[in-house]
């Protein structure tokens, strides 16, 4: 009797994939393994070394050429969403291993929602105010809070997410400006924003929100020199990619008080190590990469995974090959 193919599902931290799709047929036809914990290095290799199919949530485990070369049985690599920055796609292509992805769901909308949750929580000091009440106190001098209306919102990267964030800022009565490497005044005006140079945006904005893709020209864009340009009362928000900011520079900048605060949803290492200096950095609001963590998105992920694996088991074309 031919052995069942081994299918390994990685990165299901939320333990949601089996809640949002029916895996019973796949479980009957394959040796199916779910991993809910972060896996790296040899622990990752041990989990996937005999896999015929690897199905990964986003880019939660890195797969470089060296690791892929150690996977002789691999016949299909699948990840959720449309992009995986920690996968050596060429190493799979060179071996003729198909790469599949899944629909991403409304991740742009939910990331924009979280961006505004962080902006509002940081600017209104919601965590500090809650702690005050939990300590049996009421208002204190720090409860006199600034308004966003009339302030400048600087959007770095005016794509789909940045565009939504900009619209909300305008609805709040903010002065919305933008910059990106390829931005033009005409494109900015079409999105009801004003184009300004990056240094001007950093120097004048109360809120600076990052929405760029990481590339050669944007990695480490927000470094020590640019952080020093920011207002002492400004808030830097990043729900895009951690590599846009030099983390060590941000830690030191927050200690020096410029910018005044930061709010992060993305980090160089996820989950954040217990000894990370970020955990004790002053004036830093953090959320555990919640930008795309929403029921509609994980429903798309789960159904996309099961449909792709089912098609592979049936010998049919995979529904959404990576291009």
Tokens of 86: 């920690």
Query: What does the pLDDT average to over 285-309?
Result: 96
How many CA atoms lie less than 13 Å away from 22 in the CB half-sphere?
3
Q: For residue 122, how many other CB atoms are within 10 A of its CB?
A: 22
Q: Note the pLDDT tens digit of each residue in 162-215.
A: 999 999 999 999 999 999 999 999 999 999 999 999 999 999 999 999 999 998
Q: Quick one: average pLDDT of 226-240?
A: 98
- pLDDT(149) > 80: yes
For residue 234, give every residue at least 6 positions away whose Cβ sits within 8 Å of its Cβ, in sequence order, or none: 205, 206, 207, 208, 258, 259, 260, 261
* Active-site residue, 46 included: no
Query: Does the structure show a pLDDT above 80 at 317?
Result: yes
| Mean of the per-residue pLDDT values of the chain | 95
Q: Residue 1: is its pLDDT beyond 80?
A: no
Whole-structure pTM value: 0.89
pLDDT at 39: 94
Q: What is the largest CA-CA distance in the chain?
A: 75
Tally of residues, the chain = 323
Residue 2 has pLDDT above 80, yes or no: no
Q: Which among 35, 289, 295, 300 is annotated as catalytic? A: 289
Q: Token pair of 77, please?
A: 């690599």
Q: Which of 60, 226, 231, 241 is catalytic?
A: 241
Measured CA to CA, the distance from residue 155 to residue 266 in angstroms comes to 17
Q: Which domains does the chain have, with CATH numbers?
A: 6-106+294-313 (3.40.50.720), 107-286 (3.40.50.720)
Among candidate residues 270, 279, 295, 300, the one labeled active-site is: 270
| pLDDT tens-place string over residues 251-282 | 999 999 999 999 999 999 988 999 999 999 99
**Number of CB atoms found within 10 A of residue 274's CB:** 6
pLDDT at 143: 84
pLDDT at residue 126 is higher than 90: yes
66-121: pLDDT as tens digits:
999 999 999 999 999 988 989 999 999 999 999 999 998 899 999 999 999 999 99
State yes or no: pLDDT of 3 exceeds 90.
Answer: no
Catalytic annotation present for 289? yes
Are 24 and 15 within 8 A, CB to CB? Answer: no
What does the pLDDT read at residue 140? 87
Using left for φ > 0, alpha for ψ between -120 and 50, and beta otherwise, residue 229 falls in: alpha
* The pLDDT of residue 99: 98
Question: Is residue 222 scored above 70 in pLDDT?
Answer: yes
Q: What is the pLDDT of residue 286?
A: 98
């Amino acid at each position: 009797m031919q052995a069942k193919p081994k299918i390994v599902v990685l990165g299901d931290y939320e333990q949601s994939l089996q809640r949002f799709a029916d895996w019973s047929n796949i479980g009957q036809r394959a040796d199916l393994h779910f991993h809910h914990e972060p896996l790296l290095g040899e622990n990752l290799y041990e989990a996937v070394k005999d896999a015929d199919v690897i199905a990964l949530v986003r880019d939660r485990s890195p797969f470089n050429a060296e690791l892929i070369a150690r996977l002789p049985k691999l016949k299909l690599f699948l990840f959720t969403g449309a992009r995986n920055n920690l996968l050596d796609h060429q190493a799979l292509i060179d071996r003729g291993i198909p790469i599949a992805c899944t629909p991403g769901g409304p991740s742009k909308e939910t990331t924009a929602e979280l961006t505004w949750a962080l902006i509002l929580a940081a600017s209104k000091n919601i965590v500090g105010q809650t702690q005050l009440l939990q300590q049996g106190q009421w208002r204190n001098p720090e409860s006199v809070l600034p308004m966003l209306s009339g302030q400048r919102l600087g959007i770095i990267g005016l794509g789909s997410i940045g565009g939504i964030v900009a619209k909300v800022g305008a609805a709040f009565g903010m002065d919305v400006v933008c910059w990106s490497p390829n931005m033009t005044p005409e494109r900015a005006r079409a999105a009801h924003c004003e184009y300004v140079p990056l240094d001007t945006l950093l120097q004048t904005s109360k809120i600076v929100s990052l929405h760029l893709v990481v590339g050669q020209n944007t990695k480490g864009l927000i470094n020590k020199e640019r952080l020093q340009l920011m207002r002492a009362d400004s808030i830097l928000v990043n729900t895009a990619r951690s590599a846009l900011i030099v983390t060590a520079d941000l830690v030191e900048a927050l200690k020096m008080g410029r910018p005044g605060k930061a709010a992060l949803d993305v980090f160089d290492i996820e989950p954040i190590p217990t000894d990370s200096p970020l955990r004790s950095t002053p004036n830093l609001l953090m959320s555990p990469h919640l930008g795309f963590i929403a029921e509609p998105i994980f429903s798309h992920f789960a159904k996309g995974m099961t449909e792709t694996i089912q098609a592979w088991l049936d010998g049919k074309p995979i529904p959404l090959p990576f291009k």
